[in-house]
């Protein structure tokens, strides 16, 4: 791999609407982020993933881009963006941007040109059927909105017309182009121009939204050979022109690494290790390993994680999240003591950690609030950052803000910074510890014990890590030498006994083996 910084990166994900409002309009902005860079650095994060900052009508929280080459005025000016990149770099913080390659906003100028009645140079940049009565099975087609004959295909909402990267299997040549066609290749080259624009502005790479969804009729969820071919072409461009930049995919499948991505997210999908560890209750009759009543199954985690890691460990990285802008926060489902165990486990598994803003203080998923900007169920994970007990939790001085804040005496940065035992200060200690041990960023990894709700034990080089998620003492049947030393722990440290490792309730321990 041409770049080396990803290996030791710890990312902090920022949803810019919700992080810090500097100008008092009720929305977060780039100036607000700039003023909080020291806080991000104090956490130990050395990289930021910035959710979409582009010009947008915000019909899907910014994932509907009106102009890919412009900063949204909601977040500031072009100069503010350049200042943000410069300030982050000056503090040793990399910045990757959210790339939205699959669709634009319906207000995008290229789309509006493609919707004109007369053919033009944008006519095939988007996917249109050839007749106004065509409603192809298996696609979402929007009709009657424009003068052009035909209906346009959308990926998700009606406001998000699908860009034309072509089809692997062409079922109807009247309107479906091959992914090898000149029209599809022109869209791919346009995407490269977007990437070059922001990389030239100082961005250090991209997180790619729905990376596996570009080429249509492209096999199953895993392989997607034509989409993979497209990304390998883009990766070749990056390796040649921007060898230090990275690509992180929202694919959640080892195929993403084979397709040329440097890292791929282990998302909250059924059967994924992340789901089995902390969100198994979302599946019928499922339970997480961290279920305090002991209804989880470590063996399933070991099987799933080992399968994933075995396929990618030599070529790329897993991107391991505390949560993200699409996923209900863990705070509220677990106590802070449990969150410490969870974060310690996630951050000592092999992969690149991603902290979602506010997870480091245990912000909660807010239920039953009205959907804003088509967030729907996701809205509850996008509430403003809780900085203090001041007005709007210190997020904004505005009288009206775009989402309600939670005022919580225990869950805010100011209060937790003063408490040595807080979740925030634990996160600082955990990330600092991770940076001191090369084993935790190396490739070596094996599960040593993974049975039911018994302690989970895994090895990272000279380190052996033991987790007990239950509120009762347990013995892990793993033999260590008497002089092996515990060097990091949550709760009381586990002890080495003749019959195994004695794990106190709700404990996490790292042993250094001689």
pTM beyond 0.75, yes or no:
yes
Angle at 433 between CA 302 and CA 427, to 5 degrees: 80
Average pLDDT, integer, range 198-212: 98
445/498 same-domain check: yes
Look at 282 and 412; give whichever has higher pLDDT: 412
98/121 same-domain check: no
Q: Which pLDDT value is given to residue 285? A: 74
464/419 same-domain check: no
User: Total domain count for the chain?
Assistant: 3
Q: Which pLDDT value is given to residue 1? A: 45
Contact criterion met (CB below 8 Å) for 326 and 278? no
Q: Which pLDDT value is given to residue 125? A: 98
User: What is the Cα 403 distance to its own chain's centre?
Assistant: 21
429/495 same-domain check: no
348/495 same-domain check: no
pLDDT for 343-376, tens place per residue? 999 999 999 999 999 999 999 999 999 999 999 9
385/507 same-domain check: no
From 438, 459, 489, give the residue that closes a domain: 438
Q: For residue 34, which of 85, 71, 99 has the smallest C-alpha distance?
A: 85
Return phi, psi of residue 391, to 5°.
-50, 135
450/341 same-domain check: no
Does residue 176 fall inside a structural domain?
A: no
Strand, helix or coil at 341? helix
pLDDT for 316-332, tens place per residue? 999 999 999 999 999 98
pLDDT for 444-454, tens place per residue? 999 999 999 99
pLDDT for 150-182, tens place per residue? 999 999 999 999 999 999 999 999 999 999 999
For residue 461, what are the domain limits?
441-512
Rounded Cα distance between 355 and 13, Å, is 6
342/463 same-domain check: no
365/478 same-domain check: no
Burial class (CB in 10 A: 0-12, 13-18, 19+), 319: buried
248/288 same-domain check: yes
């Amino acid at each position: 791999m041409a770049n080396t910084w990803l290996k030791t990166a710890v990312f902090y994900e920022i949803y810019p609407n919700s992080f810090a409002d500097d100008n008092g309009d009720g929305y977060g902005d780039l100036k607000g982020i700039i003023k909080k860079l020291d806080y991000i650095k104090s956490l130990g994060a050395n990289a930021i993933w910035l959710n979409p900052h582009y010009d947008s009508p915000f019909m899907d929280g910014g994932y509907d881009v009106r102009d890919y080459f412009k900063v949204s005025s909601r977040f500031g000016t072009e100069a503010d963006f350049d200042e943000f990149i410069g300030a982050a770099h000056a503090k040793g913080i990399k910045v990757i941007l959210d790339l939205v390659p699959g669709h634009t906003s319906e207000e995008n100028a290229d789309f509006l040109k493609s919707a004109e009645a007369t053919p033009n140079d944008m006519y095939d940049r988007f996917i249109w059927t050839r007749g106004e009565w065509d409603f192809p099975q298996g696609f979402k087609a929007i009709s009657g909105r424009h003068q052009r004959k035909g209906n346009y295909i959308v990926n998700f909402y009606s406001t998000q017309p699908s860009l034309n990267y072509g089809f692997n299997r062409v079922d109807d040549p009247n309107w479906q182009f091959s992914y090898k066609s000149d029209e599809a290749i022109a869209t791919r080259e346009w995407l490269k121009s977007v990437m070059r624009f922001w990389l030239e502005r100082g961005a250090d790479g991209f997180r790619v939204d729905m990376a596996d969804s570009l080429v249509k009729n492209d096999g199953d969820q895993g392989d997607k050979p034509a989409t993979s071919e497209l990304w390998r072409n883009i990766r070749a461009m990056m390796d040649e022109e921007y060898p230090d930049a990275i690509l992180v995919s929202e694919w959640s499948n080892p195929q993403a690494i084979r397709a040329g991505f440097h890292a791929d997210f282990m998302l909250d999908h059924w059967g994924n290790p992340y789901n089995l560890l902390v969100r198994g209750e979302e599946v019928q009759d499922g339970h997480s390993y961290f279920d305090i009543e002991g209804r989880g199954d470590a063996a399933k985690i070991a099987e799933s994680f080992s399968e994933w890691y075995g396929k990618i460990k030599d070529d790329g990285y897993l991107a391991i999240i505390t949560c993200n802008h699409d996923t209900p926060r863990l705070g509220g489902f677990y106590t802070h003591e449990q969150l410490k165990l969870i974060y310690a486990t996630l951050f000592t598994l092999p992969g690149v950690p991603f902290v979602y803003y506010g997870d480091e203080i245990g912000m909660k998923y807010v239920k039953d609030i009205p959907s804003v900007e088509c967030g729907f169920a996701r809205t509850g994970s996008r509430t403003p950052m809780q900085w203090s007990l001041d007005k709007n939790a210190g997020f904004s001085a505005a009288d009206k803000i775009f989402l309600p804040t939670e005022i919580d005496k225990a869950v805010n940065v100011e209060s937790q910074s003063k408490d040595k035992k807080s979740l925030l200060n634990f996160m600082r200690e955990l990330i600092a510890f991770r940076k001191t041990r090369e084993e935790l960023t190396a490739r070596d990894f094996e599960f040593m014990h993974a049975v039911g709700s018994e302690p989970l034990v895994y090895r990272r080089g000279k380190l052996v890590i033991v987790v007990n998620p239950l509120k009762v003492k347990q013995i892990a049947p793993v033999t260590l030498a008497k002089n092996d030393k515990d060097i990091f722990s949550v709760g009381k440290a586990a002890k080495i006994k003749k019959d195994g490792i004695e794990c106190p309730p709700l404990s996490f321990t790292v042993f250094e083996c001689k």
